[in-house]
Amino acid sequence: MKIHEYQGKQLFRNYGIPVPDGEIASNAEEASAVAQKLGGTVVVKAQIHAGGRGKGHLTTNEDIRGVKVVNDAESAKSHAAALLGQPLRTHQTATEGQKVKKVLIEKASNIASELYVGMVLDRETSQVTFMVSTEGGMDIEEVAATQPEKIIRQGIDPATGISGFHARKLAYGLGMEGTTAKQAAKIFIQLYKLFVEKDASLVEINPLIITDAGDVMALDAKLNFDTNALYKHPDIVELRDADEEDDKERIANDAGLNYVSLDGNIGCLVNGAGLAMATMDIIKHVGAAPANFLDVGGGATAEQVTKAFKIILSDPNVKAILVNIFGGIAKCDVIADGVVVAAKEVGLDIPLVVRLEGTNVEAGKKILYGSGLELIPADDMLDAANKVVASLGGAA
């Protein structure tokens, strides 16, 4: 689960990690009031669940960028007014952008250097791992590709946790000395504590800055949390902004379905994560692309299948549907019921290929073929994949 920068910075404050003074604003008047209170030069920052805002701009006006340093409250007000309610496009958003509902107004910092700090769980070593670099402010993927030696990694053994040694190594690796290195070391220790205590899955500060005065501060804050651990963290759940999430993923999540939106045009309804992966693979294999990953689960009810089918049909990119069911605990007749109810409620005007196998397969087929729905039966997975591609007039 993602949160906004301003929420991440509040968590940083709670953990004693320095961030610039600032407040959130939902309209131009509030933005102006905050800027006045802060005084002097301020930064206006669009709050969306995507990075690259500094280089990104409104889809409606290419001159309006997502992050802007302004000299007074009047300019803060007008930039906030320009951003609010408009879609901001960055390299991390869809082309239609994401609507700006809030702006963060912060006291501007005097930047001497911009550094990069990232933390992830490294699955290979099973350790929370720091990745830091002197190449802050830049796209870190590009640094990783062109100057990998500029990224310093440090894994932390969960049994012992972080020590001063780790933190100093990172600070010195960033070329810091004296009180600057001390401040950074304290930040690394607090970041580790935050990451573990709140079950984060990613923390990224790009840039972590050193000011003209030699102080260290987080100028940006990107935090993701492990959804499987959210039940332990009601304070984090409260930070959820459902508007920023993929509608289909949210509805699926609420219905207990495992759904991930993808870029292709073939909607998939499958039971079991393994079969769902295999289905996506075989669609790719025959030269097409899946529109989603969808696992209705082992014990799917007809209601869940109906919801799943409706979610797939609500995606305008979906041009054909492949239902691939291997009935085990989930019975073919139950799935068939769900499909028929959904297709009749929503109206099905795209090709539907169905491959059923396993528990109650005959009853399932009876329901489907007797439903009056126009569907294309398939014998096995490859046959199903070929038929769904053929229904679209051949491979893309």
The span from the first CA to the last CA of the chain, in angstroms, equals: 33
Q: Which stretch binds Mn ion (CB under 5 A): 194-202, 217-225, 249-257, 316-324?
A: 217-225
Told to check if 154 binds Mn ion by CB under 5 A, we report: no
CA distances from 125 to 114, 120, 154, 156, 213 (A): 29, 11, 11, 9, 38
CA distances from 36 to 23, 25, 257 (A): 11, 13, 48
Q: Which residue is nearest to ligand GDP (CB)?
A: 54
Where in 26-45 is the site for Mn ion (CB under 5 A)? none
Where in 55-74 is the site for ligand GDP (CB under 6 A)? 67, 69
Instruction: Extract the tokens encoding 358.
Output: 């396993």
**Pairwise CA distance, residues 166 & 168, whole Å:** 6
Phi, psi of 175 (to 5 degrees): 80, 20
Told to check if 207 binds ligand GDP by CB under 6 A, we report: yes
Known catalytic membership, residue 204: yes
Told to check if 328 binds ligand GDP by CB under 6 A, we report: no
Told to check if 220 binds Mn ion by CB under 5 A, we report: yes
Which position among 33, 36, 52, 361 is part of the footprint of ligand GDP (CB under 6 A)? 52
Known catalytic membership, residue 116: yes
Decide which of ligand GDP, Mn ion, none touches 65; Cβ closer than 5 to 8 Å per partner kind.
none
Residue 206: CB minimum distance to Mn ion, A: 4
Strand ranges, E, within 285-378? 292-295, 320-327, 352-358, 376-377
Residue 51: CB minimum distance to Mn ion, A: 6
Q: Which stretch binds ligand GDP (CB under 6 A): 46-54, 168-176, 191-199, 289-297?
A: 46-54
CA angle 334, 336, 338 (to 5 degrees): 75
Q: Which stretch binds Mn ion (CB under 5 A): 81-89, 174-182, 212-220, 325-333?
A: 212-220
Decide which of ligand GDP, Mn ion, none touches 361; Cβ closer than 5 to 8 Å per partner kind.
none
Where in 211-240 is the site for ligand GDP (CB under 6 A)? 219-220
| Identified catalytic residue from 116, 135, 192, 259 | 116
Looking at residue 378, its amino acid is A
Decide which of Mn ion, ligand GDP, none touches 377; Cβ closer than 5 to 8 Å per partner kind.
none
Contacts of 375 (CB under 8 A, 6+ apart): 352, 353, 354, 368, 369
Residue 220: CB minimum distance to Mn ion, A: 4
List the one residue out of 9, 91, 87 whose CA is nearest residue 46. Answer: 87
- HEC profile of 162-181: CCHHHHHHHHHHCCCCHHHH
Told to check if 53 binds ligand GDP by CB under 6 A, we report: yes
Q: Which stretch binds ligand GDP (CB under 6 A): 105-113, 115-123, 331-339, 353-361?
A: 105-113
For residues 345 and 314, the answer to whether their CB atoms sit within 8 Å is no
**Pairwise CA distance, residues 111 & 95, whole Å:** 31
CA distances from 117 to 141, 166, 229 (A): 13, 14, 23
Where in 113-132 is the site for ligand GDP (CB under 6 A)? 114
Could you list the active site residues?
116, 204
- Given the rule CB under 6 A, which residues bind ligand GDP? 43, 45, 51-54, 67, 69, 108-109, 111, 114, 137, 206-207, 219-220
